[in-house]
């Protein structure tokens, strides 16, 4: 069973950071100083569990362009088990309840573009590189 919670305890934040470390820093070779930034303290963080095991993480934050969804990560052994979809649905619901008037966007890694399109996002602009990974900006259209 997949459960998702908005993080409000230090141990859950540590679990989310551990997931991000495994997915981004180890698996994708993103430099640790690029993965953890000045927004950690102000972003809203989430943790997903699968049968009680921490396996997914995400965050969102307010920017001058709207609400940016970021750091969506699912451990490799839990991919294709609907964890990412549950995380995205819960994050979108929270954001829409709190910021219904703001644009929602994200920077999707190229392999994830189809996933986000299935959930109401559209690409905007040209492909670009962040940390040597190809991305598209995507806007939520609902």
Tens digit of each residue's pLDDT (9 = 90 or more) over 70-123 = 999 999 999 999 999 999 999 999 999 999 899 999 999 999 999 999 999 999
**Cβ atoms of 45 and 84 closer than 8 Å:** no
pLDDT at 99: 92
Give the residue, 9 or 100, on which the prediction is more confident.
9
- Give tens-digit pLDDT for 12-46: 999 999 999 999 999 999 998 899 999 999 999 99
Question: d(Cα 89, Cα 3) in Å, to the nearest integer?
Answer: 12
Helix boundaries (H) for the chain: 10-20, 32-35, 83-98, 113-118
pLDDT at 142 over 90: no
pLDDT at 66: 97
pLDDT at 100: 87
- Give tens-digit pLDDT for 42-61: 999 999 999 999 999 999 99
Closest among 90, 18, 106 to 54, alpha carbons compared: 18
């Amino acid at each position: 069973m997949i459960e998702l919670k908005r993080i409000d305890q230090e141990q859950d934040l540590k679990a989310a950071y551990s997931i991000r470390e495994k997915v981004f820093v180890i698996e994708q070779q993103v430099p640790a100083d690029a993965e953890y930034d000045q927004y950690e303290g102000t972003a809203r963080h989430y943790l997903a569990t699968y049968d009680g095991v921490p396996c997914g993480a995400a965050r969102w934050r307010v920017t001058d362009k709207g609400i940016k969804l970021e750091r969506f990560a699912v451990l490799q052994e839990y991919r294709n088990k609907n964890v990412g979809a549950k995380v995205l649905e819960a994050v979108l619901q929270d954001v829409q309840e709190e910021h219904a008037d703001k644009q929602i966007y994200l920077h999707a890694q190229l392999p994830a573009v189809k996933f986000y399109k299935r959930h109401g996002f559209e690409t905007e602009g040209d492909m670009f590189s962040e940390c040597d990974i190809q991305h598209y900006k995507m806007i939520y259209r609902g």
